Amino acid sequence: MMREHLQLTGAGNTEPSIRLLDRVVSAARVLPSGDVLVQTDDIKDYEDLIKAAPAGSSDTWCQLLGENAGLKIQTYTVVAYGVTCRFSPSAQDARIQLKAENVRRISTAVEIVYMDWLMTKRKMDETRPESAKLLIEFADPYAANQAILRGLAIYGRNHDRQLFNDSHRLQQCYRCQMYGYIARNCKRDIHCAYCVGDHDSKECPYTHNRHKAKYAECAKHKRPDFSHFAFDRGCPIRGEELAKI
């Protein structure tokens, strides 16, 4: 089961007050992107705050945290184990199929925002596993909770599942190459993963040239060996981040 979260964009570093619209906020923190993550322990408070900040409105409680602040709805990701790789999460009817198979398990209306394998496509192509972990991102906390409690069926087979969190994988931003968050939450300057240039890694001409390799974070922290790609397994900063999870 989970606590409910609301994410506010454009709120700067303002710390939220303990009550918003007389609804209790149990915790809040500023993300690397500058957004503020607001937590409520009561789902009724969560729903009331969402209703009080309709999309497109410029006069809501969000402006208490910043003039240009707006609401970004938190989604709820469940990880299912041992899913056959015959299932294609990117297929056009994949979400319809998953909802149809689980209509009796998940009684509430289900909106699946996103589905994909936890393993990267490159790793999937290299190892060609028969089964893998599948990420299913729900828009509704009720649906995610019921999926966790009652299970998920795919191709007629029930799968172990749990709420996805950062301990399932190491997060590294492919925009700035720093750890702890992903590119969609990043507002830092872009750095190439191969040569630390200010261009997208996909456009780098040195993808196979280790003589040009450089990782910005290791260089910034004056690590003795910073001449490696940002994703290098031998990177000392990567090792430190892996040790945390």
Whether residue 1 is predicted with pLDDT greater than 60 in this model: the reply is no
Question: 76-167: CATH homologous superfamily?
Answer: RRM (RNA recognition motif) domain (3.30.70.330)
Q: Report how far apart the first and last C-alpha atoms of the chain are (Å, whole number).
A: 21
Question: For the whole model, what pTM was predicted?
Answer: 0.50
Tell me the average pLDDT across 121-149.
87
Strands 27-30 and 36-40: antiparallel
Would you kindly state where each structural domain of the chain is located, as residue ranges?
Answer: 18-65, 76-167, 170-244
Mean pLDDT value of segment 228-232: 85
DSSP for residue 58: S
Convert 136-175 to b/e letters by CB count within 10 Å (16 or more is b): bbbbbbebbbbbbeebbbbeeeebebeebeeeeeeebbbb
Question: Picking from 55-59, 62-66, 91-95, 108-112, which range would have the lowest pLDDT averaged per residue?
Answer: 55-59
pLDDT of residue 11: 47
What pLDDT is stored for residue 89 in this prediction? 94
Using pLDDT thresholds of 50, 70 and 90, give the confidence band for residue 108. low
pLDDT of residue 185: 73
pLDDT recorded at residue 22? 60
CA dihedral 181, 187, 189, 190 (to 10 degrees): 60
34 to each of 47, 72, 112, 213, 217, how far by Cα in Å?
Answer: 23, 13, 27, 30, 20
**Helix H segments across 52-194?**
94-101, 121-127, 141-150
Scanning 14-70, the segments in alpha helix (DSSP H) are 43-51
Within 61-220, residue ranges assigned H as helices are 94-101, 121-127, 141-150, 216-220
pLDDT attached to residue 50: 75
